[in-house]
Amino acid sequence: MFYYNSKLFGLRGVDEHKHLNTDQFDLGVDQRGKYTNFNGRASKTYKGGLNQRHLSAKNIKQYFQNDELYEIYEYYFQLVGSLKGNCFYRRPLDSKNGVKFGEQPIGVNKLSSIMKTMCADAGVEGYFTNHSGKRTCATTLYQAGIPEQVIINRNGHRSVESVRMNKRAADGMLKDISNVLEPEAMPVKKMRCETVTSPSMPSENETVSNINIPCGAHSTFS
């Protein structure tokens, strides 16, 4: 639940997860399919300073392409719906009769390390924090060509610059960029070419090697 709350709704760090409540979610079905409405709430990040006064709480409608993910949310709300209070994250209980949760909320220390723990348990290498989920949300939307303003609304970023800081180019996109920047390969003619070597010994700060230059080729460096 923690991972999908981060990825689908761009929840950041610990603060939004800590104060997350079940009544912020409304499951439903319409002509487009199954969905959940997520209603964010103003937090300390939203309340201070002139640069933040125009920010509004998130209001996101997420349609589920995968019925199983919808059913996961539905099942979780059934399990915790009868518990006192409306805190979203509850401590799991050891039970031989299926999945159960207690009334006690998951603590801040546990929430602050949950993304790192999940990735380690799954064998995913790299440095991960709770902010990785929010970054995954921004990067996935960016790679799909979603407009930056839409990403701002989904992730709750304060500016386009914040979005750009939280998105990463995919390997395929990096490959395309590399291909654009590199010069086109020059065909090498099948004929004997001279080998150019340095006439003097290299100094301590230089490295000179033999360079094979295709006949008739001209190179320009800038």
Q: Identify the helix (H) or strand (E) that includes residue 62.
A: strand 59-63
In this predicted structure, what is the pLDDT of residue 78? 94
Give, in degrees to the nearest 5, the angle at Cα 195 between 193 and 197.
165
Tell me the per-residue pLDDT of 27-63, one tens digit each, with 9 for 90 and over.
999 988 999 999 987 654 444 444 444 556 778 888 9
- Whole-number mean pLDDT of the chain? 73
The region of weakest confidence among 35-39, 113-117, 161-165, 217-221 is 217-221
Beta strands at 33-39 and 25-30: parallel, antiparallel or unpaired: antiparallel
Local confidence band at 184 (pLDDT 50, 70, 90 cut-offs):
low
The answer to which of 6-15, 47-56, 170-179 has the lowest mean pLDDT is: 47-56
pTM comes to: 0.64
pLDDT given for residue 106 in this prediction? 93
pLDDT class of 143 with cuts at 50, 70, 90 = confident
Per-domain residue ranges for the chain? Answer: 2-126
Q: Is the pLDDT of residue 156 over 80?
A: no
- The residue among 17, 21, 18, 15 whose CA lies nearest residue 7 is 17
Average pLDDT over residues 108-133: 84
* Confidence label for 209 from pLDDT (cuts 50, 70 and 90): very low
Tokens, residue 192: 């004997």
* Contact between residue 78 and residue 90 where contact means Cβ atoms under 8 Å apart: no
Query: What secondary structure does DSSP assign to 69-104, as a single string?
Result: HHHHHHHHHHHHTTSSS-BS-EEEE--SSS-EEEEE
Q: What percent of the chain has pLDDT over 70?
A: 63
Provide the residue type at 110 as one letter. K
> Helix, strand, or coil here: 209?
coil
Determine the average pLDDT of the residues in 158-172.
52
Residue-by-residue DSSP string for 19-56: T-BGGGEEEEEETTEEEEEEE----HHHHSSGGGTT--
Q: 144, 155 in Cβ contact below 8 A?
A: no
